[in-house]
Amino acid sequence: MKPSGLGKFDRQIRSFCAGLAAVGLALALATRAQAQDDKMTPIPVPAQPNAIELGTGPLPGATSPESWHSQYKSVFARNVTVATLTPFLPDPAKATGAAVIVAPGGGFRTLSMENEGWAVAQALADQGVAAFVLKYRLNPTPPDMPGFERSMHDLFSGAVRTPPRPSPEAAAAGLAPQIADARAAFALVRKRAAEWRVDPDRVGMIGFSAGAMLTLTTTLAGDDAKPAFIGLIYGPLAPVAVPADAPPMFVTLAADDPFFANGGFGLIESWKSAKRPVEFHLYEQGGHGFGMYPKTTTSTGWFDAYVRWIGMHGMLKPKT
């Protein structure tokens, strides 16, 4: 599936290129900051009996099998070559008809499946909102843990030369597998909407870090995806060209996020200038990657704020 409308989104795609390296670095620094002695420990690929393959095919050129590891009391996937969608459905008696596709982050090299995926989806289902965790395809990394750690160290230390910034078209092509996965996720949810008690016109998307980039790019260049509302959790905030029909947007960031808090808030201004609905929460502390981790900072309250926001937009009760 090929994204369209690239000319309109040049600035967004260019900002993605710069942000991608920042997200990768954020992973390393967050690891040090949150758990100095918590090593990445390989674990067996967990059973995922409810995961549904999206049919977007294997990642071209990938040779390493999918692998998982644990770190700071959470689990991560990498070398994802086949995209899946895992439903978290609410009690039918509580179902509101709204749905959210959840895109974990991880610098397009790993996926924070628990902290930014399953935990988020379960919390949404508890509110009566159907949630679907998108395990999208990732950039390949070495299959063994020592090789993976070395590759990340080389990347962060500058041992690997940063390639020239690609053209917008080349950057979008680099995201093509992930955009295809997101589009397929929307298509599947709408196709099975009756079975899952979902209103096909009330399917939104929320993403974290790299997942926030994917959410925004899907919104701007994802053709038929057309999320009804979006949440961007600690993603980049560079300005973009906003379509006239852009959906309501919820944004959360910590003021001490070392990667995305110091580049201005152009994305917010873009949405406001286009007269599209936007809500922005800038927390004093929280760093990068807080997700559903319980912390003593007020950033822990982002999910409650998000739930109130989707409620304000009518997503916590059946459509009348």
pLDDT tops 50 at residue 303? yes
* pLDDT tens digit sequence for 30-54: 433 444 447 899 999 999 999 999 9
pLDDT tops 50 at residue 62? yes
* pLDDT tens digit sequence for 164-198: 545 444 555 678 999 999 999 999 999 999 999 99
**Global pTM value:** 0.90
Percent share of the chain, pLDDT over 70: 82
Q: What is the 3-state secondary structure (H, E, C) of the chain?
A: CCCCCHHHHHHHHHHHHHHHHHHHHHHHHHHHHHCCCCCCEEECCCCCCCCEECCCCCCCCCCCCCEEEEECCEEEEECCCCCEEEEECCCCCCCCCCEEEEECCCCCCEEECHHHHHHHHHHHHHCCCEEEEEECCCCCCCCCHHHHHHHHHHHHHCCCCCCCCCCHHHHHHHCHHHHHHHHHHHHHHHHCHHHHCCCCCCEEEEEECHHHHHHHHHHHHCCCCCCCCEEEECCCCCCCCCCCCCCCEEEEEECCCCCCCCCCCHHHHHHHHCCCCEEEEEECCCCCCCCCCCCCCHHHHHHHHHHHHHHHCCCCCCCC
**pLDDT on residue 18:** 47
**pLDDT on residue 12:** 46
**pLDDT on residue 259:** 85
* pLDDT tens digit sequence for 229-258: 999 999 999 999 999 999 999 999 999 998
**pLDDT on residue 32:** 38
Higher-pLDDT residue of 165 and 263 is: 263
Domains of the chain: residue spans and CATH: 6-312 (3.40.50.1820)
Mean pLDDT for all residues in the chain: 87
For the segment 71-78, the average pLDDT, to the nearest whole number, is 92
